[in-house]
Structure 1
Amino acid sequence: MRSLRLVLPIVLAASAAAAGPVSLAEGWNHQRLSLFSANDYSHGASLGIVSDGAVSLTWKPLDRADWGARGADWSWTVDRSVPATDLARKGGDDRNISIYFVFLPRDQAARLQGAGLLRLQRNDAVRILQYAWGGNHDRGEILASPYAPGQQVTVALRQAGTGRHSESVDLARDYAAAFGGQPGALVGLAVSADSDDTDSAVRARISDLTLH
């Protein structure tokens, strides 16, 4: 048992250290949410977003090496913004950018590795932190999702408007505040823009996304 106690922290530390920069060029899959409209995502050194009265998301499953990540950093820019909305209102919650962090218990993460976001969302154990640039809420306000109450929350970071900002979030802290307890495995990321309710437009991009 002594050797096991010594090895386990080393394994856990190695797993946490494996997280790092997230490729915005590879491994993403566009997921439509409407038959009639969708955003345009361009993947490369940065992730560009064009949304014209539309909504959709782009999804990236994560490797096991990233499952232990408990924080994230990124930069984002908005050149054209939707108007301020109520991010807790179903059917009226347009926003410039949302970045989703999707968690599952580790035993289920192993079984569902590589699954798409729609399949994961049907799992009662999934928990999603969604960080948003949009609305008119105070920074750090946690809003229950009107689409998946109890499983998904929106964390307001920036009110609607243009500009460029860098962010650093504590996923473990925000998870505990939203759901209680500790997060499981971080199994995937998604990015969306939503401009269909206000029939407006978004021009935005994300860069330097890093997990730690």
Structure 2
Amino acid sequence: MPPAVDRSRGAALLLLSACASPPLDGTDVADTPWAEQSGVHPGFDAEVWNHRTFPGKAASEFSYARLEGRDAISVTAKGSASMLRQVLRIEPEELGAVRFSWKVPALIEQADMALRDKDDAPVRVVLAFEGDRSRLSARDAALSELAHLLTGEPMPYATLMYVWCNRREPGTVIRNPRTDRVRKLVVESGAHGLNRWLEYERDIRADYQRVFGEAPGALVGIAIMTDSDNTQSRASAWYGPVRFLPVSAGAR
């Protein structure tokens, strides 16, 4: 396969935060206390949490941990990229807030999420949304069709990531260098918060409106992701449970 086609193939697969793929053998967090407290439970139009891998990418290591009195997921990336993800469905009118926490021991020095070849992050909380695909640009529509051809499912209409950036200020929006339909919202910056638990509560609707300039569609997937495949470096982090709050409790 020519290099240009191979790069496009890899980009499409990596952007599929809401598409189906086989869970990594030997990794099962569905029955852990972390999973019981996170996302939407099965029976509420949701699947169990699974470790999802990307073809051609080494997998990061996910495991349950009890850290400083918290139920957590420990993640180690060694030149790798994969995610722990739950497929779910929350209708737009039911979108409230998402509450999450993480602990990061060190940043990825070479990383820059605005650059295609340095787009790594020690922590990401990833939200995938439905939307009106007729509004996609020709480039994004083609990328979605390529993803559909390769995996049997199109890429999400929009993906919002909460991230920790090396240098950009909280509130900065970083557009993915491969597609305009993936945008990152910086919620932590620099090294001052390293080696301690940091807590966040984000109004999903307000953040989506600000980042994409339109009202959100249904939320169809959530994931946590620590990746270092572009910089071929090592990164580690811990994530606390990821919880959804009802509309009445959401930040306004």
Match of 2:87 in 1: 61
Out of 227, 230, 239, the position equivalent to 1:194 is 227
Out of 105, 124, 130, the position equivalent to 1:79 is 105
Match of 1:8 in 2: none
Are residue 88 (structure 1) and residue 114 (structure 2) matched?
yes
Would you say the 8 A contact 2:53–2:59 is kept in 1?
Answer: yes
Would you say the 8 A contact 2:92–2:216 is kept in 1?
Answer: no
Out of 17, 23, 35, the position equivalent to 2:56 is 35
Out of 201, 222, 225, the position equivalent to 1:168 is 201
Match of 2:183 in 1: 153
Match of 1:209 in 2: 242
How many positions carry a matched residue from both structures?
180
Equivalent positions of 1:120-159 (< 5 A) are 121-122=154-155, 126-149=157-180, 151-159=181-189
The alpha-carbon deviation at position 199 of structure 1 amounts to 2.6
Q: Which stretches in structure 2 are left out of the alignment for 5+ residues?
A: 1-35, 42-46, 66-70, 133-147, 246-252
Paired with 2:93 and 2:51, the residues of 1 have a C-alpha distance of 22
- After TM superposition, what 4+ stretches of structure 1 lie above 4 angstroms from structure 2? 23-26, 63-67, 118-121
Q: Which stretches in structure 1 are left out of the alignment for 5+ residues?
A: 1-19, 107-115
Aligned-residue identity in percent: 22
Out of 210, 214, 221, the position equivalent to 1:177 is 210
Does the residue aligned with 2:230 lie in a helix, a strand or coil? coil
Does the residue aligned with 1:46 lie in a helix, a strand or coil? strand
The alpha-carbon deviation at position 77 of structure 1 amounts to 0.5
TM-score, length-normalised on structure 2? 0.62
Which shifted more, 63-72 or 75-84?
63-72
Query: Relative to structure 1, is the Cα distance of residues 96 and 146 closer, same or farther in structure 2, using a 3 angstrom cutoff?
Result: same
Equivalent positions of 1:110-129 (< 5 A) are 121-122=154-155, 126-129=157-160
Paired with 2:229 and 2:78, the residues of 1 have a C-alpha distance of 7
Which shifted more, 92-101 or 175-184?
175-184
Match of 2:125 in 1: 99
The alpha-carbon deviation at position 196 of structure 1 amounts to 2.3
Q: Output the amino acid matched with 1:98.
A: R
Query: Relative to structure 1, is the Cα distance of residues 131 and 84 closer, same or farther in structure 2, using a 3 angstrom cutoff?
Result: farther
